[in-house]
């Protein structure tokens, strides 16, 4: 008898693999000089990023899944979730809009700075995680 897996089951398995075990982050001890890195990125947004990245890199394989999960982790080390979300919003809304309509999202200093930081974080992550 051949077992067929539905896309929903495969998606659930991917989410389970990516999210890992639900654990509380380690609490720093008195001997620790700095607190451990804790990301404020919601799991849903991490999974969404990984699924989009995997789709852009030829589909679900262990290599693409690992590289894309690594990539969002590296981005999270450089940008808070609020910064990441604002940068993605500025990027999305500034594309395709010409003239004054796009200028509101494209021209402000905050927009330029966040889009530049996101681009740099993505490039650094691609090198660190061997995303091709």
Domains of the chain, by residue range, sit at 40-129
Per the model's pLDDT, the better-predicted residue between 53 and 96 turns out to be 53
Question: What confidence category does residue 72 fall into, taking pLDDT thresholds of 50, 70 and 90?
Answer: very high
Closest C-alpha among 76, 50, 19 to residue 131: 50
| Average pLDDT score over residue span 109-129 | 91
Cβ atoms of residues 2 and 10 within 8 Å: no
Mean pLDDT across the chain: 76
Q: What is the pLDDT of residue 14?
A: 45
| Average pLDDT score over residue span 35-42 | 72
What's the length of the chain?
132
């Amino acid at each position: 008898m051949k077992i067929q897996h539905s896309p929903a089951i495969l998606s659930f398995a991917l989410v389970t693999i990516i999210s890992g075990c639900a654990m509380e982050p380690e609490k720093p001890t008195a001997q620790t000089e700095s607190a451990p890195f804790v990301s404020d990125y919601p799991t849903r947004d991490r999974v969404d990023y990984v699924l989009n990245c995997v789709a852009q890199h030829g589909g679900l394989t262990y290599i693409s899944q690992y590289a894309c999960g690594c990539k969002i982790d590296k981005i999270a080390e450089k940008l808070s979730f609020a910064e990441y979300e604002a940068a993605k919003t500025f990027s999305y809304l500034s594309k395709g809009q010409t003239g004054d309509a796009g200028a509101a999202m494209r021209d402000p200093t905050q927009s330029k700075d966040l889009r530049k930081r996101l681009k740099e974080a993505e490039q650094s992550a691609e090198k660190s995680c061997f995303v091709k």
